[in-house]
């Protein structure tokens, strides 16, 4: 079956512009996650959705970052007024969720964001 898909695969934007990154999870997966991968910080958790709500958004680095999920499916990560330090690969993952964690997360190929 289809895996997690993300678009665009690459995005180059100018400092100060807003960007939107999209994630399509595996069909039937109720949980969706965003992570960021950068050279200096490694792999960092950003936000977790269960259905359309986000019970854990502790990893969002600033109020310039926001995310939403609609219909329990597609999610969009928005970065406003982008800065050069936002340059990274943004990874999306989805899973069937267990009550206490431990669910296998399946990752998309990522969106490489470059802020010039």
Partner 1 sequence: AQSVTQLGSHVSVSEGALVLLRCNYSSSVPPYLFWYVQYPNQGLQLLLKYTSAATLVKGINGFEAEFKKSETSFHLTKPSAHMSDAAEYFCAVSFQGAQKLVFGQGTRLTINP
Residue 40 touching partner 1 (CB under 8 A): no
* Closest to partner 1 by CB, 16 or 55: 55
Residue 48 touching partner 1 (CB under 8 A): yes
86 CB-near residues (< 8 Å, 6+ apart): 79, 113, 115
Residue 25 touching partner 1 (CB under 8 A): no
Phi and psi angles of residue 106, each rounded to the nearest 5 degrees, phi first: -110, 125
Please report, for the chain, how many H helices and E strands are present, in that order. Answer: 0, 11
Q: Which residues sit at the interface with partner 1, rule CB under 8 A?
A: 4, 31, 33, 35, 42-45, 48, 50, 56, 59, 91, 93, 95, 97, 100-110
């Amino acid at each position: 079956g289809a895996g997690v898909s993300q678009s665009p695969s690459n995005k180059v934007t100018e400092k100060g512009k807003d960007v939107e990154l999209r994630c399509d999870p595996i069909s039937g997966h109720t949980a969706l996650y965003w992570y960021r991968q950068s050279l200096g910080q490694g792999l960092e958790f950003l936000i977790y959705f269960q259905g359309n709500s986000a019970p854990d958004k502790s990893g969002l680095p600033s109020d310039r970052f926001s995310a939403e999920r609609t219909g329990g499916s597609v999610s969009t990560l928005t970065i406003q007024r982008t800065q050069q330090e936002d340059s990274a690969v943004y990874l999306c993952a989805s899973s069937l969720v267990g009550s206490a964690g431990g669910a296998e997360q399946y990752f998309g190929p990522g969106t490489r964001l470059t802020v010039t």
